[in-house]
Structure 1
Amino acid sequence: MHLQVDSVLQSILLFPVHLLVWLYSVLSFLPWYYMTGAGQKKVMSKRVKARSTSGCTDGPYRSIDHFDRLAKEDFPGKDTLDKLFDHAVERFGDAHCLGTRDVLSEENEMQPTGKVFKKLILGEYRWLSYNDVDSVVSQFGSGLAALGLQPKSTIAIFCETRAEWMITAQTCFRHNFPLVTFYATLGEEAIVFGLNETGVSHLVTSAELLETKLKDILHQCPKLKHVVYVDQKKVSTEGYPAGTSIHSMQSVLELGVRPEHVGREIVRPEPSDLAVIMYTSGSTGRPKGVMIIHSNLIAGMTGQCERIPGLGPKDTYIAYLPLAHVLEMTAEISCVTYGCRIGYSSPQTLSDQSTKIKKGSKGDCSVLRPSLMAAVPEIMDRINKNVMSKVQEMNIIQKTLFTLGYKYKLEQIKRGYDAPLCNALLFKKVKKLLGGRVRIMLSGGAPLSPATQRFMNVCFCCPVGQGYGLTETCGAGTITEVADISTGRVGAPLICCEIRLRDWVEGGYTSKDQPNPRGEILIGGPNVTMGYYRKENSNQDFFVDETGQRWFCTGDVGEIFPDGCLQIVDRKKDLVKLQAGEYVSLGKVESALKNCPLIDNICAYANSDQNYVISFVVPNQKQLTALAKQRGIMGTWEELCTHPEMESVVLKEIKLVATNIKLQRFEIPLKVHLSPEPWTPETGLVTDAFKLKRKELKNHYLHDIERMYGGK
């Protein structure tokens, strides 16, 4: 009875709101439509963006904006990365280039669980101009040469995302030192392997990584002679191998300005020279070093930048993703090329609510107020769940108004329109979580769910471009156009490359499929890299066609729509055949079930000797704790995760979500293990782009796999 009364009251209260929204829509639509050019945007969204050059359904598909030939460079004659940077310095000299916040103080904060978290209070951003960076690059290059580094000799960087990383990269590009990159979270064994495989004699790192990770393994790298740490603080040089010299970046800069080293001739690179050997963190096995030449990166960035309208000096980019990832590295080099300023951050200091920001002080987004931002789906999913959990804490009127506004704007966006009044009244506060000025977000690294993409569109009032590319293609492949209002797709081929579909009969995908052709995605163009370093046996995924164009076989399965846009539908390596003969795509199952509010992360697993799928789940702590409380189940977080009843609750929710999104019966996990610890790159269970490391996850949960399959 009470529920009925509440419902009637809610309807009465909302009637004037619905009436007001209707009146506003009627009165404002025509002026808004013509003032904002909404009609033209709808036309752009529906236009054909790419088509087959051969007329065949398997392609190759090429952007209609560069249909005659593939684009190789954006600035004529600027065919190497050092030329791009020199061009930027000439154009933007005294403008802000790279910015870093000072740490004003550090405090230890005791958590209710008894854990101690380090909290930071940070100052404003301090900026280096383009001229400043140019000067440091010259000095650092001279200093490294004085330490014996020769042109075309490799130098490694093992460092967090920060201004010194980009300074080191630009130094290497100018002086023709091929740069070997490693993720800051890469394991010790993988680092030793990469350093020895490339035979580097010089390494750039941070003081923290030097003392916590490198100190114990340098004796395993006999060819490494010089280690440069980029921090201002003093580091003890005791306890290192006798043949290894430890230098501060400042001392190398001072070495570079000595009279005997100034004016030393610089050997500039050619477009075909090696620019980067990028070690992927790898979801399976040992890391592989992808060989990227200057012309590869120039072509890839030409394609990427064409999809970002208005890129230029008015833009501010927030840099916090791993710079050893091709998405972040090419994004930052592109920003420098076009005169944007880059403010450095980290996932722990990104927003006011981030884990390392002291309550009451400002996170990096609030201070920097970026206009451009790249993100991996994992981070967007996290933002989505945090905002929606705050909505659940609102009173009934606030929650109802937010829901009404959200649904109204969602409908408008689906039709290709906007809701300016909702933006001003409801979503302004949400926008401020990321500084309030973000005009474009770019997602890459993994599939972004349509629900999360729509959430970001609605609450942060900006388009979310979803891209698809690999380290092997310089991160370039496809990116959705800003005007494209569809979700779940990754856009049309960039102007630097083209895409073909190769039949995969075993998986059930062919170019004759209806309604759209499907198959393994092959990417071809000047952005396709030169293969894996010293891995001749692994280079079968690369080939050169009869015209001399390089291609890469991605292992991903795609579907091409009539407008030339691509959707990723499967991955060959994620396909498992069950005992009864059904094929299960683990990636498809995971992507679908991540929409479940109880799940923060999930790994589906299937054994070919069994006839059902199981799963490991990192549950949402807030949601699961609330459900446990409703059922009278008490205990620590670890105890809740191992409680049989809570496993049943999550499994029931999984089945409900799976049924609603029409997963096949055999695709739905029948058993679940709840993990109290989140999966981060530091745990070694996911890559730096938060892709699952299936082999490591299998080994980590071996006991639970045996239990769920009725073993021990």
Structure 2
Amino acid sequence: MAQPTWALFMTGFTSAEMSPMRSIRREDGWFVKAMPDGQAYPLDSGLAPIFREAGVTTLPAALKYSASKYGSKPCVATRKLIKRETTEKNGKKFEKLQLGEYTWQSYSQIQDMALAAGIGIKAQGVAPGDRIIMFAESRADWFVAAMGCLQQRITVATLYTTLSDTGIVHGINETEAAVVFTSYELLPRVTKLLPECPGVKTLIVMEDQLEGVGDTKNVPKDLTLIPFMELLQPPENLIVSAGNPEPEDVAILMYTSGSTGNPKGVELTHKNILTSVIGFSVQTDVGPDDRYLAFLPLAHIMELATEVSLVSLGASILYSSPLTMSSAGPKIMKGTEGDAKVARPTIMNTVPLVLDRIIKGISAKVDKQGWLKATLFNKAVKNKARLSSIPFTSFILDRMMFNQVKAELGGQLRRMLCGGAPLSPETHKIIKAIFGVTLQVGYASTETSSSTTGMDMDDDRIGHCGAPILSVMMRLIDWEEGNYKITDTPRPRGEVVVAGPSVCKGYFKLPQENEANFVDEFGQRCFRTGDIGEIDETGAIRIIDRKKDLVKLKHGEYVSLGNAESKLKTLPFVENICVFANSSKGSTVAVIVPSPERLRKLTSEIGIREDDSDENLCADARVKELVLQNLNAHGKKHGLNRWEIPADVSLSLEQWTPDSGLVTAALKIRRKQIGNFYQNMVLEMYSRID
């Protein structure tokens, strides 16, 4: 398959066919991306020729360049909010939204708004080198505000909206930010935390379409509150000079949700993120005709780098949320279609848990249509890749089986990008079959600007994360304790080490963490990821373990908790799972959040009453035994050893959401927090098997 024109233009290469080699191991031991002719890409500075020629060395310069090139072309879109209904149940408020069509803003408009936002924030006394806090949901205003601040050489510190109150206060106070950007939805929460953040002097509130900034009666009188649209209209006689940011300036101070302790601020420069932008452009065939559905948090580097990339490529971004993306979304009012159906995206970012939920939602709907249709559908999914080699078969299967499912995501989706956590091969295969899309899996971290490895567009294999992307150098080093070595055959294994211009400046105000994770070795400044990789014969990597997830049981056997979880959660009735191991014990145990509907189907064979409550279902010893039998069979089928398969299990109806603090914003489990939450349950399971 030929490389896309844009990739050739960005890199300066003009030849056609991809080599079977995805990466090349250089003489100095570093793996780097392979060129179409099978040779190693020369390591660029991270800035492609097209950007260098246009003088693009910072993020706002990339927006300015695109505005000059694409002008009146649609850039970002926001869906019209028509009506909101709020109900209360058991002390909790639930919201339903009636939504209309998307309304657009052009590239030129977004650039003008960003310039105005920069002038407005400078007028509040924020100086170059200062930091502001961005604490809001993903939306066009978030992107505009961030670009405006960056134009004035002001660092944008991002906080996930799902962080704990303690984490939010920590981020605000550690950055010494005097200005906080937030939203109508989050203003009550910010207001509640302000007494613990004495340095905050100004709140800038992104308005709701119906309610404006909302209720401000609890905002302290000595604090300035500015509606975002008002910020974009500074006094006409105000003179503000440009900040002139530099490539090595810290553009984004991104607080990670983390699995333990306070969130850590990762310092990302303009050059770091632009390197990721270029890598994305080369890996992915995206251009001005593409429509991107944005529903992941912009406070996550994968989403932020992707949106900057899309703007650089002239694509259109339509904003959504996980709660309104599908027609079955919890905030979608009856009679309103989900965002994806209206937006009709051609490309999406996603994470494994979202894909698993899509598959389980589809399976549940198909099951309701009867045994025969469910059987035919499942066989079609299983065999589509093999049958597609027969002329017209794929077209017929789509027409008969899959087009209705595709319509739920707009019917025009052609490419998905997946990161944030390991994706099981089974999930990868099913998504490709159902939606007929190219699903490119990548591997990276905030510390590497979401830029480490990624699957090539022509790679139809599953079960790996691709090779190093442009400008990234990667190598493996031995991890003796886990018995992973680069001399392992047939494939080298070890801890993944990353170098190159995408590696961040470091952790904010954490010198000991910097010393432990960022090291000068092999002639480079490197980031030690803590992940264990295995490199195949084509130079592609598979993440097989994580140092923090590897536990040694009392008899000396090592158990990979993450590996066990990624395989066991593909069971239809498993919504989420956390496996626990203790070095003083000889077995593992697990807590599972089941799908009650799928669990009932599983247990119908053992005589469970249909009118029995979900709570009784989860507590029934017969149900637990049946779940254990299924876990055992499924685990063995997917290559787990007997120590990795839980010896006991508990079922919990508590949903693991970012709001509960049990998973991160990228929906990865927070092992320590889950362990604390279910401490008594885990102790009880171990007491039963000791």
Does the TM-score normalized on the shorter chain lie above 0.5? yes
Residue aligning to 2:43: 69
Residue aligning to 1:447: 422
Residue 286 (structure 1) aligned with residue 262 (structure 2)? yes
Residue aligning to 2:24: 51
Amino-acid identity (%): 36
Residue aligning to 2:12: none
Which of these residues, 78, 83, 88, is aligned with residue 61 of structure 2? 83
1:46, distance to aligned residue in structure 2 (A): 7.3
Q: How many residues align?
A: 662
Residue 103 (structure 1) aligned with residue 103 (structure 2)? no
Structure 2 CA distance for aligned equivalents of residues 63 and 241 of structure 1: 57
Q: Secondary structure at the match of 1:500?
A: strand
Matches within 5 A, 1:681-692: 681-692=658-669
Larger Rg: 1
C-alpha change, 1:201 and 1:617, in structure 2 (3 Å) is same
1:622, distance to aligned residue in structure 2 (A): 1.2
C-alpha change, 1:50 and 1:91, in structure 2 (3 Å) is same
1:240, distance to aligned residue in structure 2 (A): 3.2
Residue aligning to 1:202: 179
Which of these residues, 584, 587, 607, is aligned with residue 562 of structure 2? 587
1:413, distance to aligned residue in structure 2 (A): 6.2
1:446, distance to aligned residue in structure 2 (A): 0.3
Residue 544 (structure 1) aligned with residue 523 (structure 2)? no
Matches within 5 A, 1:692-707: 692-707=669-684
C-alpha change, 1:319 and 1:418, in structure 2 (3 Å) is farther
Structure 1 CA distance for aligned equivalents of residues 120 and 378 of structure 2: 59
Structure 1 CA distance for aligned equivalents of residues 336 and 630 of structure 2: 38
Residue aligning to 1:603: 578
Structure 1 CA distance for aligned equivalents of residues 388 and 45 of structure 2: 32
Q: Deviations over 1:289-331 (max 9, x none)?
A: 000111111111111221111x221011001001100111111
Q: Which range moves more in the overlay, 531-540 or 419-428?
A: 419-428
Quick check: 1:369–1:435 contact (8 Å CA) kept in 2? Answer: yes
Quick check: 2:84–2:95 contact (8 Å CA) kept in 1? Answer: yes
Residue aligning to 2:4: none
Q: Deviations over 1:97-136 (max 9, x none)?
A: 111111112235799x999843221000011111111121
Q: Secondary structure at the match of 2:580?
A: strand
1:679, distance to aligned residue in structure 2 (A): 0.6
Residue aligning to 1:637: 614
Matches within 5 A, 1:316-465: 316-412=291-387, 419-465=394-440
AA partner of residue 144 (structure 2):
I
Q: Secondary structure at the match of 1:208?
A: coil
AA partner of residue 302 (structure 1):
I
Q: Secondary structure at the match of 1:259?
A: coil
Matches within 5 A, 1:216-295: 216-232=192-208, 233-254=212-233, 256=234, 258-261=235-238, 263-295=239-271
Residue aligning to 1:10: none
Q: Which range moves more in the overlay, 673-682 or 656-665?
A: 656-665
C-alpha change, 1:204 and 1:515, in structure 2 (3 Å) is same
C-alpha change, 1:110 and 1:632, in structure 2 (3 Å) is farther
1:62, distance to aligned residue in structure 2 (A): 3.8
Quick check: 1:71–1:495 contact (8 Å CA) kept in 2? Answer: no
Residue aligning to 2:96: 119
Q: Which range moves more in the overlay, 569-578 or 98-107?
A: 98-107
Quick check: 1:70–1:497 contact (8 Å CA) kept in 2? Answer: no
Structure 2 CA distance for aligned equivalents of residues 471 and 189 of structure 1: 21
Which of these residues, 504, 509, 517, is aligned with residue 534 of structure 1? 509
Quick check: 1:502–1:519 contact (8 Å CA) kept in 2? Answer: yes
1:45, distance to aligned residue in structure 2 (A): 7.8
Structure 1 CA distance for aligned equivalents of residues 390 and 25 of structure 2: 28
Structure 1 CA distance for aligned equivalents of residues 685 and 442 of structure 2: 36
AA partner of residue 244 (structure 1):
L
1:71, distance to aligned residue in structure 2 (A): 5.2
Q: Secondary structure at the match of 1:301?
A: helix
1:505, distance to aligned residue in structure 2 (A): 1.3
1:404, distance to aligned residue in structure 2 (A): 4.3
C-alpha change, 1:396 and 1:222, in structure 2 (3 Å) is closer
Structure 2 CA distance for aligned equivalents of residues 397 and 695 of structure 1: 44
Structure 1 CA distance for aligned equivalents of residues 507 and 246 of structure 2: 20
Q: Secondary structure at the match of 1:127?
A: strand
RMSD (CA atoms) = 2.3
C-alpha change, 1:413 and 1:585, in structure 2 (3 Å) is farther
Quick check: 1:51–1:64 contact (8 Å CA) kept in 2? Answer: no
Quick check: 1:350–1:364 contact (8 Å CA) kept in 2? Answer: yes
AA partner of residue 241 (structure 2):
E
Residue aligning to 1:156: 133
Structure 2 CA distance for aligned equivalents of residues 604 and 417 of structure 1: 44
1:410, distance to aligned residue in structure 2 (A): 2.5
Q: Deviations over 1:9-52 (max 9, x none)?
A: xxxxxxxxxxxxxxxxxxxxxxxx9xxxxxxxxx9687111110
Residue aligning to 1:476: 451
Q: Secondary structure at the match of 1:665?
A: coil
1:356, distance to aligned residue in structure 2 (A): 1.5
Structure 2 CA distance for aligned equivalents of residues 312 and 356 of structure 1: 32
Residue aligning to 2:273: 297
Quick check: 2:177–2:200 contact (8 Å CA) kept in 1? Answer: yes
Structure 2 CA distance for aligned equivalents of residues 46 and 425 of structure 1: 37
Quick check: 1:53–1:62 contact (8 Å CA) kept in 2? Answer: no
C-alpha change, 1:508 and 1:619, in structure 2 (3 Å) is same
AA partner of residue 35 (structure 2):
I
Quick check: 2:475–2:496 contact (8 Å CA) kept in 1? Answer: yes
1:405, distance to aligned residue in structure 2 (A): 3.1
Structure 1 CA distance for aligned equivalents of residues 398 and 298 of structure 2: 33
1:621, distance to aligned residue in structure 2 (A): 1.7
Residue 130 (structure 1) aligned with residue 117 (structure 2)? no
Quick check: 1:414–1:485 contact (8 Å CA) kept in 2? Answer: no
Residue aligning to 1:177: 154
Q: Which range moves more in the overlay, 590-599 or 412-421?
A: 412-421
Structure 2 CA distance for aligned equivalents of residues 219 and 114 of structure 1: 25
Matches within 5 A, 1:640-679: 640-679=617-656
Unaligned runs of 5+ in 1: 1-32, 34-42
Quick check: 2:603–2:626 contact (8 Å CA) kept in 1? Answer: no
C-alpha change, 1:595 and 1:190, in structure 2 (3 Å) is same
Quick check: 1:526–1:550 contact (8 Å CA) kept in 2? Answer: no
AA partner of residue 181 (structure 1):
T
TM-score normalized by the length of structure 1: 0.89
1:64, distance to aligned residue in structure 2 (A): 3.3
C-alpha change, 1:109 and 1:207, in structure 2 (3 Å) is closer
Q: Which range moves more in the overlay, 404-413 or 185-194?
A: 404-413
Residue aligning to 2:486: 511
C-alpha change, 1:414 and 1:192, in structure 2 (3 Å) is farther
Quick check: 1:195–1:221 contact (8 Å CA) kept in 2? Answer: yes
Structure 2 CA distance for aligned equivalents of residues 504 and 114 of structure 1: 50
AA partner of residue 654 (structure 1):
L
Structure 2 CA distance for aligned equivalents of residues 672 and 414 of structure 1: 43
Q: Which range moves more in the overlay, 139-148 or 313-322?
A: 139-148
AA partner of residue 78 (structure 2):
T
